[in-house]
């Protein structure tokens, strides 16, 4: 199993839903970045459940501690370890899932591949492991801020309800004003109602999360196999529940011609830009200086209380299953911070790899 | 720059459009796989241009030679080098592109990042480098055949025209019967007409390519960061012109509820399957034994003869550009074999990584 | 900075001498290996200081906790995190070392490269970080035991005093009987006296540590660049204080002819062996089934109380330095367990890589 | 099998003794380095056999071609492929080695591990694969020259004859004046006589090769697991025939005290140096600005015409073997250029990794 990602700015995560702790090691962050546990805590609080009607009412006090990598308030070039100890993790009986894989979850893979699967709360397949992503992302974002790069993720679709706001600053402001983390307040209201309706039915609903990064210089990404779009696609598709990734115009390119969607260059005030940004800031696998825009398709949380068909692997027989518990009726609001973190990790890595950030010491 | 992909079955490609040669080294293929240049040539012929009305009329005799890795007709565990020498590569004057990046191409990134860009025919940014992908893919497919895994890619959409055939064997048969490599013969005919119409206008059109892999066992893919879906998304997004990747239901998950799209398990004839395959064969980042289905969004070839706005980087001034030459009016038919190859590379790698294929010797 | 090693069985370590904790993540250990904190504690106790007259009298209660990767007493394929919290780490004033690099220590490199150096107790350059090696090695050794592979390291030279015992079982028994961890009890006694004499003088002394692995099958190691001897040389040379690594006859090969030292094959009782083992179990970079034998040259602990010349980097002027404190007068006895651990990590990695141990699940 | 080394400056080699070609891909060399085939040819000519009485009389015209990575006389950031086509490689019958491993060669490992071994001339286990090292090393050396780093390797011992010259410039001049590539002309003469005497006896003799790199800045090498000494030890130990590696004082540290061998700092003319260089330019795994000095133990060429014991693996019976042919009676002179190349590869990689050379473009 590999639990690491990144070449120069590398994250390794560990831990499972009901084990002693979850966390991440960030290796390769240059020295002399100011960093405190609060910088990470602030981000973790955004993914914390139990904060609104549209997420799970589970309470998890995810308090992070930094165990290494900081000296006198700054990174010192050594690996940074962030850890969250799990609390109250033995409150529930999960034994009915021991031999019975939940539909559209990873259980079946874990069971057949490793043969000793911690089925409690999904084990390492749980969404709780994204705490590691957020720890890594918080550090990446702090590093990117030194280069004036800013990233936000917001919900653009839930069910059939779509948001239409496009302005970066407005979106940034609005996502903090509604529990859905949608950049368009009108749509947000409708989305919230839809989610609550599905929750009532014991069901869940999917959506789309968009991520925008501004301030990224031209030239990130390495052709041929470590392109910026490829690396973003991988880290975003690796988020549980994601079934699609697109950059810029995405799947809409299929129904267009080049003359309709090519991004033409222009010089304005001595700055090179493109008139449109259908490429989403990436051409030929490299950033071109325009905002980097991605969208991910997030499936409805597969854990629902409605009755479903499954099997008992031990007895090799068909079996019905109902998954009770306090599950998110829509995971999109909490996925935003994971998408933001994942994007930040890839950008931080490539900023170092391409020579925009010094690999060992920010003061050089 | 990194030009390698894969952990155990690793491809490194080299070469550019107008340099002496293009090719690939495959490192990590187990010994005792029967392999000849013909096995690779057969695949290369599928991506060769000049074979139909809907692709570029350029003639390229892409003849592969194997320079290492084979002993007595079988792989011997050492790196396999496949090479295609470029011919007639100096036929044209590309100097108008020296300082003028083509819209929606990677030129601008290459120019600003490396500062010594071979602008002839796109250099290493050219589609011609996918010869390396196909060499790697041909070897991967041969290796996967020993495990009864089969892969096909086919065009499912061009512009607004969509194919509807779903049967693997029918698709496999049909793609060889039409120049679009579409699995649905009725749609294929309409697609061909649309492509020719756009060609006539000096324009190009986009589309969607689907890849289906059957026979893949449950348990491929490594949670958390080297999941099968993430690795597929990366390699597919890395293909030039691709702007989106989806697995299974893909972006359609956004508008559904879990009760509508969860894949329920069943036992039929002592075999575990799911009643539906909305997950596209991957749950929790691991294969579940069902067909693995991905789709990529392919943008229209950005090289068009219509007049476009660009800039002169040297003089820092706006400039018009027309890109004449024999470009593909739709790159989708030729992308199919690259998608097929890319998928095969990832699957071969994970089959070894997860212990389904012995890492050094097929006879063990 | 990179703090990871290994491809399939991969260790990532973190932490520094005076930070909150030190530890390691082991990623890639197959599931279903029985493992407890006691298995690791037992090995850590061997490197613990303060246990004899020949090591530092510092007391460090290095108590390990496992934070992830174990389910119902067995590994579950997910990353295993072992951690030791540092205690009493603020007992001393190290400020005199802030700008003054200690001779033959890494301080100067840390200061110039990272610019924010935790000079307390050597920071991450401290020998204390080898706790991470030992955590990784303890798990590797447990895994190798399932394949009947056994490893011991013992001191073969201190100053000019050399040990002569060659029998594996005798050495194994003897190292537990003397504080030097020497396999030859007569030599051990002399070594102890020499170390105590040097300690008395405020000086320290070097030595040689040999590692023997038995039961390793033929065929580990990957020609050309990831050979078994190369990988052993790297991990052993990476141990602080090591200035040389040799395999088998080592540097003595220089003064011999092939006819004197070639290892000839023979068949005895249907088993292939070599009549001699001057190759130390490795030919052409691969194991050949004979015991794998390496030796490392360990320099005298550079921290001594005798007055030495150094410089003040801030003021750029020459400066005298005396390093008081409770330093090991000879680090060799404690290096044995680090060498043993390092060797185990490389062998475990290659056992998986070469297909001798299943990569995901010991039960398959 | 892995045939790559290096993180940012990465070499992948391919080919075997009697296959169509041998060569290397260098991935990660920054753009705008002037480079021609002559730069590589000059280095290859140093390892070419048949040039003196002390090496094999085999004639090999190793003519290199560059197939990719150069545009208008300079690197362009894309992978550089250097290739040497093998000639006359079918001149001899090697069938007696098909099932009979040569003592102290890698044959047995290749046979048991891969099961399809090209036994002709040693296949990929042949010294001929070091052509790939030298191609990579030639490019690395050209890159290091832009930073005023210079590297030489020279023979310091053959049998019991030792060289004593220590001055860099004198050694550099002398190695071109004698066939042994020894820096001390008196010793060189004796070494030559010893080698010829052993050749006469149908035997071979071992020796020691030292490598000195000057101009390396302080701060190369990444603690803990990718230290400069560890990476040098690995690449040097990976050279066939090498059984030991030491840095600085090497194995002599064992018999010294810290007060005797610690390298004390001093400031002279505003420059920080150490009074002695027993550390060989590396402390704590990082370069300290002093010359980097390593030595390798090279065993006598195991192929000798004297009769030896071996086995027939097919029949599982003991068998005598005589290895006739034109083998090097001492491989040390030709190993010098491989050691020089290997050292250059590691230093080039770390110069980029630590930010001393820009990762993409020398002009930035």
Render pLDDT for C342-362 as a digit per residue (tens, 0 to 9): 999 999 999 999 999 999 999
pLDDT at A198 over 80: yes
Residues 8-27 of B with CB under 8 A from D: 10, 12-16, 19-23, 25, 27
pLDDT at C327 over 90: no
D42 touches chain C (CB under 8 A): no
Residues of C in contact with D286 (CB under 8 A): 106, 109-110, 113
Q: Nearest 10 degrees: CA dihedral of D220, D224, D227, D233? A: 180
Q: Chain A residue closest to C7 (CA)?
A: A2
Structural domains for chain A: 4-353 (3.60.150.10)
What average pLDDT does the segment D333-337 reach?
A: 97
CA C281 – CA C151 distance, rounded (Å): 13
Whether the upstream peptide bond of residue D34 has omega within 30° of 0, thus cis, is no
* pLDDT on residue B95: 87
* pLDDT on residue A89: 62
* pLDDT on residue A90: 59
Q: What is the pLDDT of residues B78-116, one digit of tens each?
A: 999 999 999 866 557 888 899 999 999 999 999 999 999
Structure tokens at C169: 């079982």
For B309, the closest of A247, A264, A306 (CB atoms) is: A264
* Average pLDDT along chain B: 95
The per-residue DSSP string of C26-60 comes to: EE-PPBT-B--HHHHHHHHHHH-SSSSTTS-----
The per-residue DSSP string of A280-292 comes to: TTEETTEE-SSPE
* pLDDT on residue C91: 59
For B31, the closest of D10, D81, D114 (CB atoms) is: D114
Which residue, A325, A274, A341, A358, is CA-closest to A130? Answer: A341
Which of C29, C30, C351, C359 to substitute to test the interface with B, most B CBs within 10 Å? C359
Which residue, B103, B143, B98, is CA-closest to B121? Answer: B98
CA B348 – CA B353 distance, rounded (Å): 9
* pLDDT on residue D1: 76
* pLDDT on residue B189: 97
Minimum distance, in Å, between the CA of residue A238 and any CA atom of chain C: 16
* pLDDT on residue C57: 72
What average pLDDT does the segment B238-256 reach?
A: 98
At which residue do the structure tokens 């165990």 appear?
A67
User: Hey, which residues does D83 pair with through a beta bridge?
Assistant: D23, D65
Taking CB atoms and an 8 Å limit, are B118 and D31 in contact across chains?
Answer: no
* Average pLDDT along chain D: 95
Q: Chain B residue closest to A288 (CA)?
A: B109
pLDDT at B55 over 80: no
* pLDDT on residue A88: 65
Q: What is the pLDDT of residues D214-258, one digit of tens each?
A: 999 999 999 999 999 999 999 999 999 999 999 999 999 999 999
Q: Is the ipTM of this complex over 0.95?
A: yes
User: Hey, which residues does D4 pair with through a beta bridge?
Assistant: D12
User: Hey, which residues does C199 pair with through a beta bridge?
Assistant: none
At which residue do the structure tokens 């079988």 appear?
B74
Q: What is the pLDDT of residues C30-69, one digit of tens each?
A: 999 999 999 999 999 998 877 777 877 777 789 999 999 9
Q: Chain B residue closest to D79 (CA)?
A: B14
Contacts of B46 (CB under 8 A, 6+ apart): B134, B336, B337
Question: Among A110-114, A332-336, B125-129, D48-52, where is mean pLDDT lowest?
Answer: D48-52
Q: What is the pLDDT of residues D350-364, one digit of tens each?
A: 999 999 999 999 998
Residues of A in contact with B318 (CB under 8 A): 265-267
pLDDT at B61 over 70: yes
A278 touches chain C (CB under 8 A): no
- Strands annotated E in chain A: 4-5, 10-15, 21-27, 64-68, 70-71, 74-75, 80-85, 150-158, 161-162, 207-214, 242-247, 265-268, 271-274, 282-283, 286-287, 292-298, 308-312, 317-321
**CA angle centred on D288, ends D286 and D292, rounded to 5°:** 85
Q: What is the pLDDT of residues D133-153, one digit of tens each?
A: 999 999 999 999 999 999 999
Among A86-100, C322-336, D179-193, the range of highest mean pLDDT: D179-193
Q: How many CA atoms lie within 13 A of A220 on its CB side?
A: 27
Q: What are phi and psi of D256, to 5 degrees?
A: -120, 165
C353 touches chain B (CB under 8 A): yes
Q: Chain C residue closest to A359 (CA)?
A: C1
Q: Chain B residue closest to A278 (CA)?
A: B104
A73 touches chain C (CB under 8 A): no
Percentage of residues in chain B having pLDDT higher than 90: 90
Residues of D in contact with A7 (CB under 8 A): 7
Residue A337 is classified by DSSP as H
* Average pLDDT along chain A: 95
Residues of A in contact with D358 (CB under 8 A): 355
CB D128 within 8 A of CB D21: no
D275 touches chain C (CB under 8 A): yes
Which of C195, C251, C268, C289 to substitute to test the interface with D, most D CBs within 10 Å? C251
Q: What residue spans of chain A are helical by DSSP H?
A: 37-47, 107-114, 130-145, 168-174, 185-200, 228-237, 258-261, 332-353
Higher model confidence: residue B190 or residue C95? Answer: B190
Taking CB atoms and an 8 Å limit, are C32 and A67 in contact across chains?
Answer: no
CB atoms within 10 A of CB B37: 15
The per-residue DSSP string of B28-64 comes to: -PPBT-B--HHHHHHHHHHH-SSSSTTS--------E
Q: What is the pLDDT of residues C65-104, one digit of tens each?
A: 999 999 999 999 999 999 999 986 655 788 889 999 999 9
For A360, the closest of C25, C69, C114 (CB atoms) is: C114
Residue C301 is classified by DSSP as P
Minimum distance, in Å, between the CA of residue B67 and any CA atom of chain C: 17
Residue C80 is classified by DSSP as E
What average pLDDT does the segment A11-33 reach?
A: 97
For C358, the closest of B7, B355, B364 (CB atoms) is: B355
Which of A97, A105, A125, A299 to substitute to test the interface with B, most B CBs within 10 Å? A299
Helix (H, G, I), strand (E, B) or coil at C25: strand
Q: Chain B residue closest to C362 (CA)?
A: B355
pLDDT at B136 over 80: yes
Beta carbon pairs, B and C, within 8 Å: 20
**CA angle centred on A235, ends A112 and A84, rounded to 5°:** 75
D325 touches chain A (CB under 8 A): no
A50: left (phi over 0), alpha (psi -120 to 50) or beta: left
- Strands annotated E in chain C: 4-5, 10-15, 21-27, 64-68, 70-71, 74-75, 80-85, 150-158, 161-162, 207-214, 242-247, 265-268, 271-274, 282-283, 286-287, 292-298, 308-312, 317-321
Structure tokens at B222: 């490594």
pLDDT at B50 over 80: no
CA B53 – CA B329 distance, rounded (Å): 10
pLDDT at A326 over 70: yes
CB C350 within 8 A of CB C282: no
Model confidence band, residue B165 (pLDDT cutoffs 50, 70, 90): very high
B126 touches chain D (CB under 8 A): no
Residues of C in contact with A22 (CB under 8 A): 68
A360 touches chain D (CB under 8 A): yes
Q: What is the pLDDT of residues B283-308, one digit of tens each?
A: 999 999 999 999 999 999 999 999 99
Which of B31, B109, B110, B115 to substitute to test the interface with D, most D CBs within 10 Å? B115
Taking CB atoms and an 8 Å limit, are D219 and C113 in contact across chains?
Answer: yes
Residues of B in contact with A228 (CB under 8 A): none
CB C103 within 8 A of CB C4: no
* pLDDT on residue D89: 62
Q: Which helix (H) or strand (E) holds D150?
A: strand D150-158
Helix (H, G, I), strand (E, B) or coil at A244: strand
Residues of D in contact with C240 (CB under 8 A): 284-285
In Å, how far are A112, A123, A241, B291, B350 from B287, measured between CA atoms? 10, 18, 14, 9, 10
Taking CB atoms and an 8 Å limit, are C300 and D223 in contact across chains?
Answer: no
CB C328 within 8 A of CB C6: no
Taking CB atoms and an 8 Å limit, are A114 and C20 in contact across chains?
Answer: no
Q: Chain D residue closest to B74 (CA)?
A: D116
Which residue, A89, A85, A34, A80, is CA-closest to A64? Answer: A85
pLDDT at A19 over 70: yes
* pLDDT on residue B267: 96
Neighbours of chain D (3+ CB pairs under 8 A): A, B, C
Minimum distance, in Å, between the CA of residue C299 and any CA atom of chain D: 5
CB atoms within 10 A of CB B335: 28
Structure tokens at B118: 């071979």
CA D131 – CA D20 distance, rounded (Å): 14
Q: Chain D residue closest to C350 (CA)?
A: D1
* pLDDT on residue D88: 65
What average pLDDT does the segment A161-186 reach?
A: 97
What average pLDDT does the segment D280-301 reach?
A: 98
Q: Chain B residue closest to C350 (CA)?
A: B359
Helix (H, G, I), strand (E, B) or coil at D190: helix
Q: What is the pLDDT of residues D87-105, one digit of tens each?
A: 866 567 888 899 999 999 9
Taking CB atoms and an 8 Å limit, are D309 and C132 in contact across chains?
Answer: no
B355 touches chain C (CB under 8 A): yes
What average pLDDT does the segment A171-185 reach?
A: 97
Minimum distance, in Å, between the CA of residue B215 and any CA atom of chain C: 20
CB A267 within 8 A of CB B317: yes
B286 touches chain A (CB under 8 A): yes
* pLDDT on residue B47: 86
Percentage of residues in chain C having pLDDT higher than 90: 90
* pLDDT on residue B89: 62
């Amino acid at each position: 199993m590999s639990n690491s990602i990144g070449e120069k700015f590398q994250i390794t995560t560990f831990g499972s839903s009901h084990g002693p702790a979850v966390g991440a090691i960030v290796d390769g962050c240059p020295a002399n970045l100011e960093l405190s546990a609060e910088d990470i805590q602030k981000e973790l609080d955004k993914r914390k459940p139990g904060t609104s009607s549209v997420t799970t009412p589970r309470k998890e006090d995810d308090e992070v501690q930094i165990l290494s990598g900081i000296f006198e308030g700054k990174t010192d070039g050594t690996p940074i370890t962030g850890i969250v100890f799990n609390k109250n993790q033995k409150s529930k009986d999960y034994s009915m899932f021991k031999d019975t894989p939940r539909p559209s979850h990873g259980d079946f893979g874990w069971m057949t591949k490793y043969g000793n699967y911690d089925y409690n709360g999904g084990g390492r397949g749980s969404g709780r492991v994204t705490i590691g992503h957020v720890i890594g992302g918080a550090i990446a974002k702090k590093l990117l801020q030194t280069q004036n790069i800013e990233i936000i993720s917001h919900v653009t679709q839930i069910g059939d309800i779509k948001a239409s706001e496009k302005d970066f600053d407005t979106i940034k402001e609005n996502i903090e004003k509604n529990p859905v983390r949608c950049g368009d307040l009108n749509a947000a209201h409708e989305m919230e109602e839809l989610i609550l309706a599905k929750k009532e039915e014991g069901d869940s609903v999917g959506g789309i999360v968009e991520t925008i990064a501004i301030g990224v210089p031209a030239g990130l990404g390495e052709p041929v196999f470590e392109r910026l779009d490829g690396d973003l696609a991988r880290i975003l598709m690796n988020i549980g529940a994601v079934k699609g990734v697109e950059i810029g115009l995405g799947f809409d390119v299929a129904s267009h011609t080049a003359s309709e969607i090519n991004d033409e260059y222009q010089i304005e005030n001595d700055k090179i830009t493109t008139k449109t940004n259908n490429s989403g800031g990436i051409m030929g696998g490299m950033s071109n200086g325009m905002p980097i825009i991605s969208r991910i398709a997030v499936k409805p949380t597969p854990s629902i209380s409605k009755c479903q068909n499954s099997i008992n692997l031990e007895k090799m027989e068909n079996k019905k299953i109902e998954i009770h518990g306090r599950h998110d009726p829509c995971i999109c609001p909490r996925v935003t911070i994971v998408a933001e973190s994942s994007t930040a990790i890839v950008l931080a890595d490539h900023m170092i790899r391409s020579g925009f950030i010094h690999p060992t010491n920010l003061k050089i």
